[in-house]
């Protein structure tokens, strides 16, 4: 299957309210351009420097999403252009994003990453911490960031029931937090292996890599 066919196949299945982020980490610009040439404009990367290099080389109407774990000292390399940061899990990180966004006179949209997986390898905040953060006075002072939703990653397992339960947890967290904070609009959940399940459970944004671009090779 070609990148083009893969992409069209996935898009056919997407309800109108679900946004597709094409996760292009480790892939060369020529692969991304194939997706671009069939209309894809949102790309997700998990390394800030890799994203910044691709951003320089590619058309300027692309929206770049940072989906990986973020080192605070690297925020400055993406602050000029990043459209959405998915993996925000602390006030400290928000402070730095705000500081860098201010330098560029921008407001950067962020998602709070909630830990929904059983494994301890997955990053993210507990629901209670997200609630406290959204309520905090500190947050009100940050004029150059906007928290617009939540992101989560399910456990790496074949157990569909467990995955569905984890997605439901995120959806319920979202509904509760949205009652207090009407800026929340996005639920980023679902990857190649589980996006259909995620959409059934209320995802509004899926992050799909290998089903579009093929398996990743980390050995290079
Ligand atoms: C790599 C990655 C994806 C995409 O994974 P695939 O299984 O290749 O679709 C989605 N979200 C995050 C946070 C990732 O790091």
Separation of 207 CA from ligand 1 center, angstroms?
6
Instruction: Give 156-205 pLDDT, tens digit per residue.
Output: 999 999 999 999 999 999 999 999 899 999 999 999 999 999 999 999 99
Residue 152 has pLDDT above 60, yes or no: yes
Pairing of strands 63-66, 145-151: unpaired
Q: Is residue 123 part of a domain?
A: yes
Looking at ligand 1, which residue's alpha carbon is closest to its atom 6? 209
Q: What is the mean pLDDT of residues 7-31?
A: 97
Instruction: Give 26-84 pLDDT, tens digit per residue.
Output: 999 999 999 999 999 999 999 999 999 999 999 999 999 999 999 999 999 999 999 99
- The pLDDT assigned to 220 comes to 53
- The pLDDT assigned to 119 comes to 80
pLDDT band at 217 (very low <50, low <70, confident <90, very high): confident
Q: Is residue 184 part of a domain?
A: yes
How far is the C-alpha of 85 from the C-alpha of 66, rounded, in Å?
A: 5
Nearest residue to 58 (alpha-carbon basis) of 86, 24, 21? 24
Q: Is residue 64 part of a domain?
A: yes
Ligand 1: residue of 88, 207, 211, 215 to mutate (most ligand atoms within 8 A of CB) is 207
State the total domains in the chain: 1
Instruction: Give 101-110 pLDDT, tens digit per residue.
Output: 999 999 999 9
Give the start-end residues of each E strand in the chain.
19-23, 42-45, 63-66, 84-88, 108-113, 145-151, 186-188, 205-208
Residue 189 CB less than 6 A away from ligand 1: no
DSSP letter assigned to residue 62? P
Separation of 140 CA from ligand 1 center, angstroms?
31
pTM of the full predicted structure? Answer: 0.96
Looking at ligand 1, which residue's alpha carbon is closest to its atom 11? 207
Residue 48 CB less than 6 A away from ligand 1: no
Q: What is the mean pLDDT of residues 18-23?
A: 98
Separation of 209 CA from ligand 1 center, angstroms?
6
- The pLDDT assigned to 122 comes to 64
Q: Is residue 203 part of a domain?
A: yes
Residue 23, domain CATH = 3.20.20.10
pLDDT band at 118 (very low <50, low <70, confident <90, very high): confident
Ligand 1: residue of 67, 68, 152, 217 to mutate (most ligand atoms within 8 A of CB) is 67
Domain of 69, in residue numbers: 3-211
Q: Is residue 220 part of a domain?
A: no
Q: Which atom of ligand 1 is nearest to the CA of 191?
A: 9
Q: Is residue 153 part of a domain?
A: yes
Q: Is residue 217 part of a domain?
A: no
- The pLDDT assigned to 218 comes to 74
Q: Is residue 202 part of a domain?
A: yes
For residue 198, what are its two tokens?
């995620």
Q: Which atom of ligand 1 is nearest to the CA of 208?
A: 9
Q: How many CA atoms lie within 13 A of 207 on its CB side?
A: 23
pLDDT band at 219 (very low <50, low <70, confident <90, very high): low
């Amino acid at each position: 299957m070609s990148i083009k066919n893969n992409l069209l196949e996935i898009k056919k299945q997407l309800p109108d309210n679900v946004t597709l982020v094409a996760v292009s980490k480790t892939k060369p610009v020529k692969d991304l351009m194939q997706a671009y040439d069939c209309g894809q404009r949102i790309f997700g990367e998990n390394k800030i420097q890799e994203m910044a290099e691709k951003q320089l080389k590619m058309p300027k109407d692309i929206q770049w999403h940072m989906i990986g774990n973020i080192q605070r000292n690297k925020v400055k390399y993406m602050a000029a252009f990043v459209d959405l940061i998915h993996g925000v899990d602390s006030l400290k990180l928000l402070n730095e994003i705000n500081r860098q966004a201010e330098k560029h006179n921008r407001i950067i949209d962020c998602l709070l990453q909630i830990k929904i997986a059983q494994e301890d390898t997955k990053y993210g905040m507990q629901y209670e911490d997200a609630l406290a953060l959204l309520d905090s006075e500190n947050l009100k002072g940050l004029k150059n960031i906007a928290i617009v939703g939540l992101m989560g990653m399910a456990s790496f397992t074949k157990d569909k029931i467990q995955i569905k339960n984890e997605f439901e947890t995120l959806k319920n967290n979202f509904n509760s937090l949205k009652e207090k904070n009407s800026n929340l609009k996005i639920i980023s959940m679902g990857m190649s292996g589980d996006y259909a399940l995620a959409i059934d459970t209320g995802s509004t944004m899926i992050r799909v890599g290998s089903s579009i671009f093929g398996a990743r090779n980390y050995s290079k």
